[in-house]
Amino acid sequence: MIVIPAIDLKAGRCVRLLQGRFDRETVYGDDPAAMARRWAEAGAEWIHIVDLEGSVGRKPVNQEAILAIRAAVSANLELGGGIRDLDTIALYLDRGLNRIILGTAAMRDPNLVREAARRFPGKIAVGLDARGSKVVVEGWTEDSDQDYLDLARRFQGLGVAALIYTDVDRDGMRTGPNLERTRTLARAVDIPVVASGGVKDLEDIRTLLPLEADGVIGVICGKALYEGSLDLGQALTVAGGR
């Protein structure tokens, strides 16, 4: 299983939000590139980047910081937040990012996912952010009536590289990942799943490992790494470094 450290960007800084709420923000550093080097030097093969302001502003905002991260590390980078069209996808891929995550755009314009996956094979992931079973959009500021499993099934057979499932209620809370809903999602589709939200420590990594058999290929870790309750090197060892 792949352990993926997260870098969330706001105003060019590394921050973490509790349950995606902008009024519950903690700043962990003013140099995202240095943070990326820290994770890369610890052994990270992938780094997960979110342009938080882009996600609510509906267009990229932290491009300078994102490109600085790309220049600083050789690890694979995946990026989400405010990406709503093919031109923006192409721009970031041309600048060396490895995977683009479509969230709000995926729900509102599934044809964009279809076309992006066709043009950029292996480079497009879909972000499924949910409270309970219902998808939330626009940087988690808007609820929807869309069931996360029904939305996931729309992308079967389109060449999507991964589904990144985040339990919004657990994000930043360090209360453990939602094993039940993660497993249910992985069994419902043939697309690889990456879990996100709630990881606290090594035991949480261990509890996710049996889900590999169902198609869960990775886990994104954020606050646990920044607060020190999870060591990335140890997590990579426990997960097998795959």
Active site residues: 8, 129
* Contact partners, residue 112, CB within 8 Å, separation at least 6: 84, 85, 86, 102, 105, 106
Q: Rounded to the nearest 5 degrees, what angle is found at the Cα of 56, between the Cα atoms of 178 and 66?
A: 85
